[in-house]
Structure 1
Amino acid sequence: MATVREIYQLLNTLAPFSIQMEFDNAGFLVGRGDQAVDRILVSLDITEPVVSEAAERGAQLIVSHHPVLFHPARSITDGDPTGRILLALVERKIAAICAHTNLDTVAGGVNDALAHRLDLVQIEPLKQDGVDASGRPYGIGRIGNTVGAPMYAPAFAAFVKRQLGANGVRYVDARRPVRRVAVGGGACADLLSDALALGCDTFVTADVKYNGFLDAKALGINLIDAGHYPTEQVVVPVLAKWLSDAFPKVEVFATDRHKEAFSYG
């Protein structure tokens, strides 16, 4: 048994909420800090089906990556999706802790999980954004090397799709063998030039705009857009393990109801 506050304190130690980006709204967002918790549901997002799943499975807390409440709310009613989610959480006495950009940047977080899922080795930061209060460096993105015979973009894109369970990927083939790879979970296409400057031949990220693909083609770097959900979903088992290891008497489980929101035709 643990309290919501104790679980928040653990996450704040591993991925300090103080290092979240200015636009973000990560933290303890819904519930009472002294609420007892013996079951935790972990999910990338908190949606209505996820709240229903937590209630059905007896969870008192949901830990997610994306904040359930991102923008200031002028009202909380059942007239919009966010309002319905917040009402359902409060009515069912389910708390919510959301670790977002702080989890993107810390060691062992989203980007390390993504690099490991793609079997990269000799992993290092793509960009250092600062150091936390304990002096630990943090930053967005990671760089690593592939092992074995190098693949070219079409084969590596197929590998990325398989490893991440993506419904599809979009890519630019610069006709360079894949040896040194940068990764940025979620929308990190603005780091393309950083990846190139650090000697990367390939960049795996998500939410790439049309001009991003044109830039990659002109710059001669392989660019793979594997989708926001697949490139960040890799952190869900990491969060679950952190919580299970720290609170062995608490049952921790990942959602089996939240999936990719769209399909490719």
Structure 2
Amino acid sequence: MISCEKILQYLMNFAPLELAEDWDNVGLLLGNRKQDITSVMTCLTLTPDVASEAIERKANLIVTHHPILFRSVQQITTETSEGAMLLDLARHDIAVYSPHTAFDSAAQGINQQWCERLALQSCQPLELSADLNLAGHGLGSGRSGLLPQPIPLQNLILQIKEMLSVDTLQYVGRSDAEVIKVGIACGAAAEFMKQAQQQGCQVLITGEARFHACLEARQRGIALILVGHYGSERFACEKLAEILQQEFPEIKCFASEVESDPISIL
């Protein structure tokens, strides 16, 4: 048997919680760290259908990228979908852990995985961690790196579309503009455009951005590529399941199969 504590310790070494943003809610959010674990499910967001899948497939630990209980909660009852879900998970002894922005910024986290997918060179954080020890190891939020050679923005967009198997992507900027240095900030992270520009990036790849952030990018002269919040992060949840399976071969580790992007495009 593998204890929940042992898996959590591995996750905290893989994505130190000190890397998380101050506003975040990370760590063990539900459950007993002393319980034995036989099956782990990873997902991007823990929703009622994903929770039902975990119960059906007898997972007893869920590693969800997006935290549950993110906002202050005064009541947990069956009168809300979240309350009913949490009570159901507790009734089935299913623990819930979220690394969220710690996973975004980890040495092998989501932003670094984007760098590797795009074959970026000389990668570094867009913003070093406030934790001096972590900053001393070159860790922090976002990433920037150099493409193997300069290419038009439209070519980079085509490369990402093929990578994500999508037909369309939103972007800000001139499609014929030459790019060589790329900023990465998964999720809803257009606020890193300033840091990206300071590092000489011609484009920032992120999940989503508000309208006014897009206007700001145009005024600043930095391009944005918006790959969708789901598209920017879900692949790493699948990868995390593989990593956990390799680390703990005696238990079953898998990514949710019912989870899907809530946004559709005709």
Matching of residues 72-151 of structure 1 within 5 Å: 72-131=72-131, 136-147=137-148, 150-151=150-151
Q: Find out whether 1:216 has 2:217 as its counterpart.
A: yes
Q: CA deviation at 1:140?
A: 0.9
TM-score, with length taken from structure 2: 0.91
Q: Could you list the runs of 5+ residues in structure 1 that have no partner in the other structure?
A: none
Match of 1:240 in 2: 241
How many residues were matched structurally? Answer: 264
Give the direction of change, closer, same or farther, for the CA distance of 1:203–1:18 in structure 2 (3 Å limit): closer
Report the residue type matching 1:32 in the other structure.
N
**Alignment check: 8 A CA contact 2:19 2:106 kept:** no
TM-score, with length taken from structure 1: 0.91
Q: Secondary structure at the match of 1:112?
A: helix
**Structure 1 CA distance, aligned partners of 2:251 and 2:179?**
42
Task: Give per-residue Cα distances to partners, 1:171-197, cap 9 Å, x unaligned.
Answer: 012342121111100111111121112
Q: Secondary structure at the match of 1:162?
A: helix
Matching of residues 1-265 of structure 1 within 5 Å: 1-131=1-131, 136-147=137-148, 150-166=150-166, 168-174=168-174, 175-265=176-266
**Alignment check: 8 A CA contact 1:113 1:238 kept:** no
Structure 1 runs of 4+ aligned residues shifted over 3 Å read 131-137, 165-168
Give the direction of change, closer, same or farther, for the CA distance of 1:79–1:251 in structure 2 (3 Å limit): same
Q: Secondary structure at the match of 1:179?
A: strand
**Structure 2 CA distance, aligned partners of 1:181 and 1:241?**
27
Give the direction of change, closer, same or farther, for the CA distance of 1:132–1:59 in structure 2 (3 Å limit): farther
**Structure 1 CA distance, aligned partners of 2:63 and 2:195?**
32
Task: Give per-residue Cα distances to partners, 1:155-211, cap 9 Å, x unaligned.
Answer: 322322331345742101234212111110011111112111211111101221112
**Alignment check: 8 A CA contact 1:146 1:180 kept:** yes
**Alignment check: 8 A CA contact 2:19 2:129 kept:** no
Task: Give per-residue Cα distances to partners, 1:28-48, cap 9 Å, x unaligned.
Answer: 111111211111111111111
**Alignment check: 8 A CA contact 1:109 1:238 kept:** no
Q: CA deviation at 1:133?
A: 5.4
Report the residue type matching 2:18 in the other structure.
S
Report the residue type matching 1:119 in the other structure.
A
Q: Secondary structure at the match of 1:42?
A: strand
**Alignment check: 8 A CA contact 1:125 1:143 kept:** yes
Report the residue type matching 1:3 in the other structure.
S
Give the direction of change, closer, same or farther, for the CA distance of 1:213–1:18 in structure 2 (3 Å limit): closer
Q: Aligned-pair RMSD on alpha carbons?
A: 2.0
**Alignment check: 8 A CA contact 1:20 1:100 kept:** yes
Q: Could you list the runs of 5+ residues in structure 2 that have no partner in the other structure?
A: none
Q: CA deviation at 1:63?
A: 0.8
**Structure 2 CA distance, aligned partners of 1:79 and 1:165?**
39
**Structure 2 CA distance, aligned partners of 1:20 and 1:255?**
24
Q: Secondary structure at the match of 2:53?
A: helix
**Alignment check: 8 A CA contact 2:44 2:65 kept:** yes
Q: CA deviation at 1:85?
A: 1.9
**Structure 1 CA distance, aligned partners of 2:167 and 2:263?**
8
**Structure 1 CA distance, aligned partners of 2:193 and 2:94?**
40
Give the direction of change, closer, same or farther, for the CA distance of 1:32–1:132 in structure 2 (3 Å limit): farther
Report the residue type matching 1:238 in the other structure.
K
**Structure 2 CA distance, aligned partners of 1:26 and 1:38?**
22
Task: Give per-residue Cα distances to partners, 1:79-136, cap 9 Å, x unaligned.
Answer: 2222122122112221111111111222111110122223323322121123365753
Report the residue type matching 1:264 in the other structure.
I
**Structure 1 CA distance, aligned partners of 2:218 and 2:264?**
26
